[in-house]
């Protein structure tokens, strides 16, 4: 089964959702330097936390404007080799 990574370029940087070896999904942000934000049971949960601004990363969660997609379908999906 192929693994995927998802990305969303926001006004504060690029969010990344990646599947980890333990089958959890990591959420991170960064373009040059990647900062881990948290881990989720599914990629959908991670994307939802970005949309709902409940990531635990204050620079995003405290923003007045939300430009995040309402679901994972709005993220860019890339298969990993």
CA angle 71–76–77, rounded 5-degree value: 100
CA distance 36 to 27: 6
Q: Please check the confidence at residue 23 and state whether its pLDDT lies above 80.
A: yes
Residues 6+ apart with CB under 8 A from 61: 53, 54, 55
CA angle 50–54–59, rounded 5-degree value: 80
Please say whether the beta carbons of 78 and 4 come within 8 A.
yes
Q: Is pTM beyond 0.85 here?
A: yes
pLDDT digits (tens, 9 = 90+) for 27-74: 999 988 889 999 999 999 999 999 999 999 999 999 998 889 999 999
CA distance 2 to 8: 20
């Amino acid at each position: 089964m192929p693994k995927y990574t998802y990305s969303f370029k926001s006004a504060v940087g690029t969010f990344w959702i990646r599947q980890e070896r333990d089958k959890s999904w990591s959420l991170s942000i960064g373009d040059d330097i990647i900062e881990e934000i948290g881990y989720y049971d599914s990629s959908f949960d991670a994307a939802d936390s970005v949309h709902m601004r409940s990531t635990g990363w204050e620079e995003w969660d405290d923003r007045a404007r939300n430009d995040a997609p309402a679901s994972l379908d709005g993220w860019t999906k890339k298969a990993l080799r």
